[in-house]
Amino acid sequence: MTKTELLYEGKAKKIYATEDPEVILAVYKDQATARNGKKKVNVAHKGTLNNQITSHLFNYLKANGVASHFIKQVSATEQLLHKVKMIPLEVVLRNLASGHFETKFAVPHLMQFNRPIVEFYYKSDALDDPFINDAQILALEIATEAQIEALKTKALLVNQVLKQLFDQLGITLVDFKLEFGLTSSGEILLADELSPDNMRLLDKKTQQSLDKDIFRKGLGDMIPAYQEVLHRIEDKEQNANVLS
Ligand code: 5GP
């Protein structure tokens, strides 16, 4: 399948139409951004790493009962996706306190929650993605009550599956951000990407970050950490294949 018209260019990906109106093609870019694009640099290999990590994780989620827009990886930087109408919400799930939760409520770093927290943010670069609650989502007619509940349920399920996977890889899944879209028949599908760009991952042994916090906090080169995440996922898959 070949790409045709450029439909959208975001901070980390370009989205193209294809000859099939129901299928789009995502090209992962070698660009890292933080603070809503205010900090932006070119980072070689980031696109291929995030494409591969996302492809592995969407395949893993599918095998564990979580449907997504992902069809298949088609090249080092490209993947084919079902076209969906994006819901303008960032769905953040937190297992441990970090980032905005830690600073907003002045709680200890990595404070453990009794149960995972789901939060919504309204996707708007102009407004800096503000926090939004259920009543505000309903007032702005972004989603219905049933859809809000479905988003929460799906985020919790993604967490259950990924947390277990990362535990096996010696990695703590601290928090992550998901985005969802609607198919033409109204089904809610997990969309966007699943990479160290939108999740916080900590090496269980060293407590080192294996995610974009390295870039956000200016702690050095993010690429070896992203490679480490990919290698651990691939090693686990190879072992699973050898055993099966
Ligand atoms: P926080 O709200 O603490 O900044 O982020 C919580 C989690 O969601 C982190 O794993 C972070 O990577 C992810 N996240 C939140 N907002 C964004 C965003 O606008 N872009 C990306 N890529 N990830 C986000």
214-237 pLDDT tens trace: 999 999 999 999 999 999 999 998
- What pairing do the DSSP bridges indicate for beta strands 171-182 and 89-96? antiparallel
Atom of ligand 1 nearest to the CA of 199: 10
The residues, any chain, with a CB within 8 Å of residue 157's CB and separated by 6 or more, are 65, 66
Q: What is the pTM of this model?
A: 0.96
CA distance linking residue 18 with residue 8, whole number of Å: 13
pLDDT of the residue at 244:
53
Ligand 1 probe mutation, 11, 131, 175, most atoms within 8 A of CB = 175
pLDDT of the residue at 243:
61
Q: How far is CA 51 from the centre of its chain?
A: 11
What distance in angstroms lies between residue 34's CA and the mean position of ligand 1's atoms?
10
Please give the angle made by the CA atoms of 74, 76 and 78, to the nearest 5 degrees. 50
pLDDT of the residue at 224:
98
pLDDT of the residue at 2:
87
- What is the full per-residue pLDDT of the chain (244 aa) written as tens digits? 788 999 999 999 999 999 999 999 999 999 999 988 888 999 999 999 999 999 999 999 999 999 999 999 999 999 999 999 999 999 999 999 999 999 999 999 999 999 999 999 999 999 999 999 999 999 999 999 999 999 999 999 999 999 999 999 999 999 999 999 999 999 999 999 999 999 999 999 999 999 999 999 999 999 999 999 999 999 998 888 766 5
For the chain, helix, strand, coil in percent to 5 are 35, 35, 35
Q: What is the CA radius of gyration of the chain?
A: 18
Atom of ligand 1 nearest to the CA of 98: 3
pLDDT of the residue at 38:
86
